[in-house]
Amino acid sequence: MQYSQDFKTAAIALCNAGKFIDSKGWVPATSGNFSARLPDGTIAITTSGKHKGHLQVEDIMLIDHDANSLDGKKSSAETGLHTTLYKRYPTIQAILHPHSINAILVSKIFGDVIVLENYELLKAMHSITTHETRITVPIFANDQDIPRLAHVVDQYLDTVNDCYGYIIAGHGLYTWGESILEALRHLEALDYLFDCELRLHGVRKP
C-alpha cells in the first residue's frame, strides 16, 4: 500500500511518543496502544503485539473511522475504544493508552472515580487556566467485550461536559488531545497527579 505523507508524519510522531512513554515505564511488555487522526479522517494506529518503546513506522497501520483495516495489518483488540472517541470529539487528533502503574493502583483504590482538585498542574490540561479547578477521571470495570465497554464509556461521556481521560480498572489510562503533543502533556500531567493522590492516601511513599 502507498501511504500518504500525512500518514508517515503521524507514524513517526507515534513512534517517538512510544519511546518517551516507554522511558517512563508506562508501557511494559507489549501493552498500550496509540493513534492519530489524519486530515482525511482515516486513523494511524499501532499494530497489535508490538513493544511501544521499539516502534518502527511499519508497526503503525491505517484504519477507517469504523476500525476497519485499510492496509491488511492487525490492530489492537481495543481499536474500537479509539474510534468511539474520535467520533464523539471532532477536535481531538490523538489518543494515548498506556498501562502505567499509577493508573492501575488508582483503579484498585478509588472506586468509580478519582477527583483531582486544586493542583497547579491541572493547568496542563486543555483550556484549564487556574489551579482552582476540579476534574473527575472515571474508572470503568475491565471488559474483554470491547464494543460493550465502548458503549459504557460513551454513555458516561453523554453525562459530562469535560473529560480528559478515563481509566480501565486493572488495565490502564486513556487520554487524548488536539495533537500528539497535547495528548502526551495530558498523559504526563495525569500520571503525576495520580501519584500525588496515591501518596496522599498513603499508598506510595515519596
Binding residues for Zn(2+): 97, 99
Give yes or no for a contact between 62 and 42, defined as CB atoms under 8 angstroms apart: yes
DSSP 169: T
Cell numbers describing residue 173 = 489510562
Q: How many CB atoms lie within 10 A of CB 28?
A: 15
Q: Is the CB of residue 95 less than 8 Å from the CB of residue 35?
A: yes
Q: Which residues are annotated as a binding site?
A: 97, 99
Strand intervals (E) in 19-81: 33-37, 43-46, 60-63
Contact 95, 86 (CB under 8 A): yes
Compute, in degrees rounded to 10, the torsion defined by CA atoms 178, 182, 183, 189.
-140
